[in-house]
Structure 1
Amino acid sequence: MTIKEITALVEEIAPLSYAEDFDNTGLLVGHADRECTGVLVTLDTLEEVVDEAIEKGCNLIFSFHPIIFGGLKKITGRSYVERVVLKAIKNDIAIYAIHTALDNSFQGVNARMCEVLGLKNQKILIPKTGTIKKLITFIPSEHADTLRTALFQAGAGNIGNYSHCSFNLEGTGTFKGEEGSQPQYGKKGELHRETETQVGVTFEKHLEKVILKTLFENHPYEEVAYEVHTLDNTHQHIGIGMTGEFQEPMKEADFLRLVKEVFNTGCVRHSAQTGKPVKKVAVLGGSGAFGINHAIASGADAYVTGDLKYHDFYKAEGKILLADPGHYETEQFTKNLLVEYLRKKIANFAIVLSVCNTNPVKYL
């Protein structure tokens, strides 16, 4: 398999178009068309991870975090980022990062956090905007069924737990083929009226190229009239952070002990206890201070995330229990998630879980 064929498998559940604008995802080093000898999956790409890839015969490092985040003006080996890139290039090793594309996936980072904590009834905490688009087109009514079927097969028309959704309106279209046209309906130079169906379907943003290709392949007109709009509607399965619930509520002290144990951390920094039992919990892997108000608004009793600063803990205001087991700790299960997923997709291929602990934070 080629590198791009392997990375495309993960993009099925975490399309890069859903990564945050500030992020740097996708293939960062190497050639997409190269044959892959093995995949090493890691949370971070450090020099020791590149050495591990060399040792284990893997020429693709699949990393959660991108090693190249800002622009590189020089690659001289003076920083750890430059040394990683130099070593990877020298040894023909590709580096790919998925980061916030997986953060915004319903099957990604936060889903795994909910799983290890034992939370059920998972829902997106902060739905991502601009993820749903709508196609409106006009087609001779006799071809409408064929087009709708093709669009549905391409992934259009899915809304929540429903599929094959569309809106159809009958009307009359007019057009006149000018010089150079080759109309399939009517005659060139003559005004033509055609009974048409207006077909409207929604689709997920990352499917736009496929949807438009399907439209053009299944439309009889030489010039296809269509509109594509980005909707304000939110997608219930695309966004960052999650909420979930315990089957039975627990005391706050017991919950904090559970967080410490599950995330195997040296300590859990937390806000003052509220005195209320914990049943509904919000989670957000990595740096999640921006999600505190969302967690409160969701009605969560507790919020688990990383990188909270001193003043962030004040934002709890007695309404919620904030628990910070650490950035690395909240994302540590991500590489296991990716390995499990890839092994199911390509069972007879070398998918290797990195044994390197890349956590830069140590506890005394």
Structure 2
Amino acid sequence: MLIKDLINHIEDIAPLNYAEDFDNVGLLVGDKNTKITNVLVTLDTLEAVVDEAIAKNCNFILSFHPIIFKGLKSLTGKNYVERTVLKAIKNNIAIFAIHTALDNDKNGVNAMLCNQLQLINQNILIPQKQTIKKLTTYAPKNEADTLRQALFKAGAGQIGNYSNCSFNVNGVGTYNANSNANPSKGSIGTDHNESETQITITFERHLESKILATLFKNHTYEEVAYEITTIENTNQNIGMGMVAELETQQSETEFLNYLKDKMKVSHIRHSQLLNKPIKKVAVLGGSGSFAIQAAKAAGADVFVTSDLKYHDFFQAENNILLVDIGHYESEQYTKNGLVAILTKKIPNFAFILSKTNTNPVKYF
């Protein structure tokens, strides 16, 4: 398998199109036409991880966090980022980062966190806006169904739990082909009326090029009339964080002990206990202070995240329990989840779980 082939599989899992604007995802080091030996999956790519890749004959590192986040003006080995990149290049090891593309996927980081906590009824906490587009096109009436089915097969028409969704209106299209045209219907220089069906169909943003390619391939007209608009409907599949539920409600103390056990953490920072039962749980792996208000609006009893600052805890305002379990700790099972998904998707290929602990925070 070539790197570019694996990238296509990764994007099927978490399209890079949905990564946050500030992020740096995709192939950071390497040639996409290189043949892959083995893949090492890690949370962070550091020198020690590159050493592990070398030892395990892996020439592709799938990293959750990007090692290159800001622009590099030189590669002299003066800091840990440059040293890591240099070592990877010298040893012909590619580095690919998935980060917020996986954060925003419904089966990504936050679903993995929910699964670790055995939470049920999982839903996106903060849906990403402008991720749904609408195609409107016109086809000869007797060819409309064939075109619709091709668009459905390409991934259009998916709305929540429903598939093959479209809206259709019959009417009459008119045109007059000039001498340079090659009309599939009608004659050059003559006004032509054609019974047509207007097809309106939605699709997720990352599918646009595929949808257009399908449209052009399956439409008989030489010039295809179409328009694409972005709509504001909520996308149930893309966004930050999750809100879910415990199967059985717990007291705050029971939940904190449950959280420590399930996440294998010894230290937890939290806001003031409210003496209220915990049933509805919001989670956001990584830095999640920006989602406190969303967790409150969702009616969550507790919000589990990381990197909360002193003043962030005041936002609890006696109506939610805020819990900080640590950045690494909140994302630690992401690499396990990625290995499981990729192994299921490509069962005959070696995906190796990194054993290197990359947590930079130590506790005394």
TM-score of Structure 1 vs Structure 2, range by shorter chain: over 0.9
Aligned twin of 2:268: 268
In the alignment, what sits opposite 1:132?
132
TM-score for the superposition, normalised by structure 2 = 0.99
Q: Which residue of 1 aligns with 2:257?
A: 257
Distance 2:356 2:262 in 1: 19
AA aligned to 1:88 is: A
Q: Which runs of structure 2 are paired with 1:280-359 in the superposition (5 Å)?
A: 280-359=280-359
Q: Which residue of 1 aligns with 2:188?
A: 188
- Mapped to 2, the partners of 1:347 and 1:145 lie a distance apart of 36
Q: C-alpha distance in 1, partners of 2:53/2:128?
A: 34
What is the CA deviation profile of residues 257-300 of structure 1, one whole-angstrom value per residue up to 9, with x for unaligned ones? 12222222231000001111000000000000000000000000
Unpaired segments ≥5 residues, structure 2: none
Q: CA deviation at 1:5?
A: 1.4
Partner of 1:210: 210
Give 2:176's aligned residue: 176
Displacement after TM superposition at 1:54 (Å): 0.4
| Deviation of the 1:248 alpha carbon | 1.1
Percent identical residues = 61
Question: Which residue of structure 2 aligns with residue 46 of structure 1?
Answer: 46
- Could you tell me which amino acid in structure 1 is paired with residue 198 of structure 2? Q
The DSSP-based 3-state class of the residue aligned with 1:12 is: helix
> Distance between the aligned counterparts of 1:219 and 1:144, measured in 2?
9
1:96 corresponds in structure 2 to 96
Range with greater deviation from structure 2 (154-163 or 261-270): 261-270
Return the alpha-carbon distance in structure 1 between the equivalents of residues 188 and 258 of structure 2: 75
- For the aligned residues, what is the CA RMSD? 0.9
SS in 1 for 2:203: strand
Secondary structure, counterpart of 1:199 in structure 2: strand
2:113 matched to 1:113?
yes
Q: Distance in 1 between matches of 2:115 and 2:99?
A: 19
The match for 2:25 is 25
- For residues 347 and 209 of structure 1, the distance between their equivalents in structure 2, rounded to whole angstroms, comes to 28
Letter in 2 for 1:227: E
How far apart are residue 347 of structure 1 and its match?
Answer: 2.2
| Structure 1 CA distance for aligned equivalents of residues 175 and 353 of structure 2 | 60
Q: Residues of 1 paired with 2:61 and 2:156: CA distance?
A: 33
8 Å CA contact retained: 1:29, 1:89: yes
C-alpha distance in 2 between matches for 1:101 and 1:70: 18
Residue 229 of structure 1, CA deviation: 0.7
Residue 352 of structure 1, CA deviation: 0.7
> Structure 1 residue 303: deviation in Å?
0.2
**1:28 touches 1:96 (CA, 8 Å); kept in 2?**
yes
TM-superposed CA distance for 1:55, in Å, is 0.5
- The residue number in structure 2 matching 1:81 is 81
- Is the 1:266–1:363 Cα contact (8 Å) retained in structure 2? no
- What TM-score do you get using the length of structure 1 for normalisation? 0.99
Deviation at 1:51, TM superposition (A): 0.3
1:160/1:236 contact within 8 Å kept: yes
Q: Offset of 1:255 from its aligned partner?
A: 0.8
Secondary structure in 2 matching 1:195: strand
For structure 1, the 5+ residue unaligned runs are none
SS of aligned partner of 1:44: coil
The number of residues matched between the two structures is 364
Moved more, 342-351 or 287-296: 342-351
